[in-house]
Chains A and B, each alone.
Chain A
Amino acid sequence: MKEPNKLLSALTSQVGRKLLTGITGVLLVLFVISHLSGNLALLRSDSAPFNQYTQTLHSFGMLLIIVEIGLGLLILLHAYLGIAIMLRKRAARKQGYDVVASKGGPSRQSLSSRTMAVTGIILLIFLVIHIVQMRFGPNISQGYSTIINGQEVRDLHRLVLEVFSNIWWVAFYVGVMMMLGFHLRHGIWSALQSLAAMKPRYSTAIYSVAFLLAVLLAVGFLILPIWIYINHRGATV
């Protein structure tokens, strides 16, 4: 099984696809954790810590771009695998049931597990909007500049404050972050189940830890726009 075409057919098999979904999912969760920890600088009333943080990221230059492209590919692969699962599922049961009920007990079926494709697609659309709005939003040349350590840098803090002084943007971000929580509620557990051969006796504990992590990440993110809206409304623009 060492020839490349055999490896490829292994990766595209049902088990291979599941493992890839899990691996890309775990990497994306790690990204989400690091993204949130950086963004927590937005909780400070002073703009310097956040701009300092974004400036540090951008000082990596080419390396940052490579990481960004890598992340983009990761997201596309994860989304492709997820959509493929959804399409295959439709083909695998053409005629549905009149009544569907969960038998409970060890079942991990939930609204969250059944809506992975929907929440995933919402997150994908959100990402495009978010990247266009923030990453490719107004720059130094549009006057969004500030001085950090005697150097003129982009004032991303100002842009974030402006966006989140609009109640509709706040509502949009909060709503999408709840979808993120829903996606991760099943996703973190599912990735761990796919990648680690869990002993049944750990299963409940891991399911609970996955739930806690999903709640923490979603709440951590959605608190930022609300916080900014409450504290900075009227202070900018």
Chain B
Amino acid sequence: MSDTLMTIHLKVWRQDAPTQPGKFVQYTVPGVNPHMSFLEMFDLLNEQLSAKGEIPVEFDNDCREGICGSCSMVINGMPHGPQRGTAACQLHMRHFKDGDHVVVEPWRAAAFPMIRDLVVDRTSLDRIIAAGGYISTNTGAPPDANSLPVSKDDSDRAFDYAACIGCGACVAACPNASASLFTAAKIGHLALLPQGAPERKRRVINMVEQMEKEGFGDCSNHGECEAACPKEISISAIAMMRREYVKAVVGG
């Protein structure tokens, strides 16, 4: 792979405050190393802006290793960019070409209010978790090993669903701004494990209710969420959430 530096033309959403109108601003970023991540390219842009005395672009980030879920950017119309199974912080500039034009926008959803530039408030997802995405367990000495048998199939699926990092890309990608994949991944993860059994029924009812209260849209089975998910969580989770819901209502 070549280390030739690239020039990237950005069109970035800038908005000073939720109450002020935002607009797209064009920036040309020279000196982009192909080994840089997409966020490092933004660091470079911000250094260049600071040097010119302009206000840097605000964007959310923390771990920069694809596990915290805070880097939320819609890159050329796709949450986290064109690479599947990758968060924006792990998207490398080698996937772009010298001279490329890239449009960067924040997550767009009524349930994700704008804070500034590319940063939105995703606490609506936390409130869905607070509505039921937890288990009650005794603290104290750890239980004996193997005292709670879990089949390999179930533990694998539970792990697939537990891989959700709560980034909100599913919402950003959904044409309806639905949070179904996020909510379903949490419900599926806990429903598959014995530790989740005590609250199983009220969990699904309450989390589905909270998702609606937060103003997320309905699921239309577009499946775009699965494509956008940096952890590639399958929409089979959503099918499972519906089954869990029916079981909770009918059998409750």
Using CB atoms and an 8 Å cutoff, list the residues of chain A in contact with chain B.
1-2, 6-7, 10, 13-19, 84-85, 88-89, 91-109, 113-114, 116, 186, 189-190, 193-200, 203
User: A188 to B228, alpha carbons, bound, how many Å?
Assistant: 23
- Which of A10, A19, A92, A103 meets B227, CB within 8 Å? A103
Distance, CA A231 to CA B241, complexed state (A): 52
| B140 to A: closest C-beta gap in Å | 33
Majority secondary structure, B binding face: mixed
Residues of A within 8 A of B211 (CB): 14
Pick the contact of A10: B223, B226, B249 (CB < 8 A): B249
- Listed by A's residue number, 14 A-B pairs whose Cβ atoms lie within 8 Å are A13-B212, A13-B245, A14-B212, A17-B218, A18-B219, A88-B217, A94-B110, A97-B108, A98-B103, A103-B78, A103-B84, A105-B84, A105-B227, A116-B220
B246 shortest CB reach to chain A, Å? 7
Q: CB of B193 within 8 A of chain A?
A: no
CA distance A98 to B233 in the complex (A): 26
What's the nearest-Cβ distance from chain B to residue A197, in Å? 4
Residues of chain B within 8 A of A103, CB atoms compared: 78-79, 82, 84, 173, 224, 227-228
- Contact B227–A113 (Cβ < 8 Å): no
Quote the shortest CB–CB distance from A162 to chain B (angstroms). Answer: 40
Specify which chain B residues have a CB less than 8 angstroms from the CB of A7 in the assembled complex. Answer: 249
Q: Scoring B residues 89 to 128 as 1 if CB is less than 8 Å from chain A, else 0, what string do you get?
A: 0000000000000010100111100000000000000000
CB of B163 closer than 8 Å to a CB of A:
no
Taken together as a complex, chains A and B put the C-alpha atoms of A195 and B234 apart, in Å, by: 16
Q: What's the minimum C-beta distance from A186 to chain B, rounded to whole angstroms?
A: 8
Task: Report whether A108 and B222 are in contact in the complex, using a CB–CB cutoff of 8 Å.
Answer: yes
Closest to A202 in B: B236
Q: Of A18, A97, A200, which one neighbours B105 at CB under 8 angstroms?
A: A97
A197 near B240: Cβ-Cβ < 8 Å: yes
State A44–B222 Cα separation when bound (angstroms): 41
Q: In whole Å, how far is B152's beta carbon from the nearest beta carbon of chain A?
A: 16
Q: Is the CB of B223 within 8 A of A108?
A: yes
Give A12 Cβ to nearest chain B Cβ, in Å.
10
Chain A residue nearest in CB terms to B80: A103
Given the complex of chains A and B, what is the CA–CA distance between A200 and B239 in angstroms? 10
10 closest cross-chain pairs (CB), A and B: A101-B77, A92-B217, A99-B77, A1-B252, A108-B223, A103-B227, A107-B227, A92-B177, A197-B239, A190-B221
Q: Looking across the interface, which residue of chain A has its beta carbon closest to that of B160?
A: A200
Whether the pair A85, B176 counts as a contact (CB closer than 8 A) is yes
For the complex, count residues of B whose C-beta is within 8 A of A: 56
Tell yes or no: B67 within 8 A of A by CB. no
Answer yes or no: B178 CB below 8 A from chain A CBs. Answer: yes
A14 touches which one: B74, B109, B218 (CB < 8 A)? B218
Q: In the docked arrangement, what's the CA distance between A17 and B103, Å?
A: 36
Least CB distance from B96 to A in Å reads 15
**B30 within 8 A of partner (CB):** no
What separation, in Å, do the CA atoms of A22 and B205 have in the docked complex?
20
* Interface residue B56 (Cβ < 8 Å from any Cβ of A): no
In the assembled complex, which residues on chain A have CB atoms less than 8 Å from the CB atom of B57?
A: none
| Contact yes or no, B175 A114, CB < 8 A | yes
Known: A1-B205, A15-B245, A98-B103. A89 touches B219 (CB 8 A): no
Please judge, given known A-B contacts A101-B76, A193-B221, whether A19 and B246 are in contact too, CB under 8 Å.
yes
A102 in contact with B242 given A13-B208, A92-B176, A92-B178 (CB within 8 Å) = no
Q: Of B212, B226, B242, B252, which is within 8 A of A194 by CB? A: B242
Contact partners of B205 in chain A: CB under 8 A:
1, 10
Cα(A18)–Cα(B238), bound, Å = 11
- When distances are taken between beta carbons in the complex, the residues of chain B under 8 Å from A113 are 175, 220-222
A109-B209 CB under 8 A given contacts A18-B242, A89-B177: no
Q: In whole angstroms, what is the CA distance A117 to B241 when docked?
A: 25
Most chain A CB within 10 A, of B201, B227, B250, B252, is at B227
Contact B236 A85 (CB under 8 A): no
Cross-chain contact A19 with B242 (CB below 8 angstroms): yes
Closest A residue by C-beta to B251:
A1
